[in-house]
Structure 1
Amino acid sequence: MAKQDSKVAMIIVLTVIAIASATVLSLVHSVTQPQIEAVSEERREEAILGVLPGAVDYSEIEKDGLTLYEGLDEDGNVVGTAIERDGSGYGGPVGLMIGLDLDNNKVLSVRILEHEETPGLGARIEEGWFIEQFKEKPFGDEFLIDEDLEGIAGATLSAQAVGAAVSDSIDRIEIALAGGMEEYIAGLIQEVLPGTEEHETVTKDGIELHKGYDAAGDLAGYVIPVQGDGYGGVMELKVGIDPNLEEILGVTVVDHSETAGIGDVIAEADFQEQFIGKSLTDQFVLDEDIDGAAGATVSSEAFVEAVRDAVEKAKGLN
């Protein structure tokens, strides 16, 4: 009996300790969380003003799902626009604040917010000489290492992550300003279904897809959205299939995080055009049916696998 009482007492003590610990942790969290958020907001404000020369204040705006910061001078005039983005570095995400001059289509400044790159190698993306290279760069540049920018010896992936994030930010803002994602998607559908004038998004047999129509209102084909797991993260594709569900009419990338100058070959026309005219009965084997990109096997295979997925979904529409 005494032994049983001892067990009960132990359970009660442990329960009390657990409740007390949880209570203390909750109190600590409630006290420190506002402070953490305040410090984070202060760092963000400092970064925004830091990449927008002449700005003393800023206003936050939403544009087609993007959070943008418009820098204001002492007279309230807009001096530039900042956007916070992540790049895919060697050690993990690379957080950046990017200042842009949307009136003159050029980069104002870039600041590294956080990263997990290797000290002495990838961590050198924070060095002034590297960051200074982005200033005054026009939007037309692709920010490729060793072409548009000087790289960092032994840290190519880290440097490319910054360049790719800057380029991606410009692309996304330009899409937002040009009419938004819906207009952008309409353009992609026309790209993979030649002759398309109108489209509608439908769900057929459990598959969400786009149906394109030509000027006469006839079905031009189907566009199937798919995803692949690339080297840098998820890539999104749209695959155009003819109205008879027999062959591929076009393939294009909606979004990706592949390494600039290597894996981003998947977004180039020469790579994508290999799929045009392929029958839905083809195997799509990398380096047999489709030429992969040197040094970018993971990216290439992810793209091919995504196209295979689209083909299987198209077959299910018969």
Structure 2
Amino acid sequence: MSEVANMETQNLASSKKMLLAMVGIGIISALLIVTTFELTLPRVQRLKAEALEKAIFEVLPGTVNTQAFGVNANGELFKMKEGDKTETAIYAGYDNNDNIVGYAIEASGQGYADIIRILYGYEPDKETLIGFQVLESKETPGLGDKIEKEEHFLNNFKALDVSLSNNNKLQNKVITVKQGEKQNPWEIDGITGATISSRAIGNIIGTSTSELVPILYNHYKKNHQKPKESNEQ
């Protein structure tokens, strides 16, 4: 009996040592992960900021300076300072004479695989979208990722109509249609083989522009004192 008890005691001690070793390894691994994350976070954030800045200049050609804005509870733009956070990020682009070139707007929504983050450029003078960039996407390579590089799809955003009616609402909500079926300037010609992803872009932009274009146009009109001509049909 003593030998059996001895073996049980040894096994128990061995199990405790193994458990302690596993816990120790787990703690060390967790610390390494956290330390690595903390060390690389500033670089990741810097790279994201640089990519965003580059995208702003690309979706708003002619921009030399930018100003970040948020939207307050009254639906008005306010200038953001370093450290400020907002659910909706908007960047006004200015030319050499400090005139507004347009606004770059961040937006996001569900794609086929995951959330898609985009940036699009809005030119209030012509009431059109004039640029588009995908900031983050996990869409299927070779299919869904065509929203980032398919030329005919990107051409949709060189003059996509988002004009307002006299009641300060979009005359027509932006939508995606099947490839080859675009007939109106507010429609996005989709991508065969990437139907869900291209439709998602239409949904994201349609929702975002319906909410923000009236706000941005009013901000532009207020700062430029330019009366709006009627677009009612």
TM-score, scaled relative to structure 2: 0.67
Distance 1:91 1:4 in 2: 48
Identity of aligned residues (%): 31
Counterpart in the other structure of 1:116: 138
Distance 1:22 1:176 in 2: 46
Residue 46 of structure 1 aligns with an amino acid whose one-letter code is K
Give unpaired runs (5+ residues) of structure 2: 1-8, 73-86, 164-171, 219-233
Counterpart in the other structure of 1:133: 156
Counterpart in the other structure of 1:86: 108
Greater strand fraction, Structure 1 or Structure 2: 1
Post-superposition Cα deviations, 1:165-221, rounded to whole Å, max 9, x if no partner, equal 222221111354589xxxxxxxxxxxxxxxxxxxxxxxxxxxxxxxxxxxxxxxxxx
Counterpart in the other structure of 2:80: none
Offset at residue 10 of structure 1 (A): 2.6
Distance 2:190 2:216 in 1: 31
Greater helix fraction, Structure 1 or Structure 2: 2
Q: Does 1:36 pair with 2:44?
A: yes
Offset at residue 53 of structure 1 (A): 0.5
Instruction: State which of 97, 101, 106 in structure 1 corresponds to 2:128.
Output: 106
Post-superposition Cα deviations, 1:135-161, rounded to whole Å, max 9, x if no partner, equal 122214534422333332233222222
Q: Larger RCO: Structure 1 or Structure 2 (Cα < 8 Å, ≥ 6 residues apart)?
A: 2
Q: How many residues align?
A: 179
Distance 1:97 1:73 in 2: 19
Counterpart in the other structure of 1:310: none
1:143–1:149 contact (8 Å) kept in structure 2: yes
Residue 172 of structure 1 aligns with an amino acid whose one-letter code is E
- How much is the aligned-residue C-alpha RMSD, in angstroms? 2.4
Counterpart in the other structure of 1:298: none
2:124–2:216 contact (8 Å) kept in structure 1: no
Give unpaired runs (5+ residues) of structure 1: 180-318
1:121–1:152 contact (8 Å) kept in structure 2: no
Offset at residue 2 of structure 1 (A): 3.6
Question: Taking structure 1 as reference, are residues 2 and 59 closer, same or farther at Cα in structure 2, changes over 3 Å only?
Answer: same
Question: Taking structure 1 as reference, are residues 89 and 78 closer, same or farther at Cα in structure 2, changes over 3 Å only?
Answer: same
Question: Which stretches of structure 1, 4 residues or longer, exceed 6 Å deviation after superposition?
Answer: none
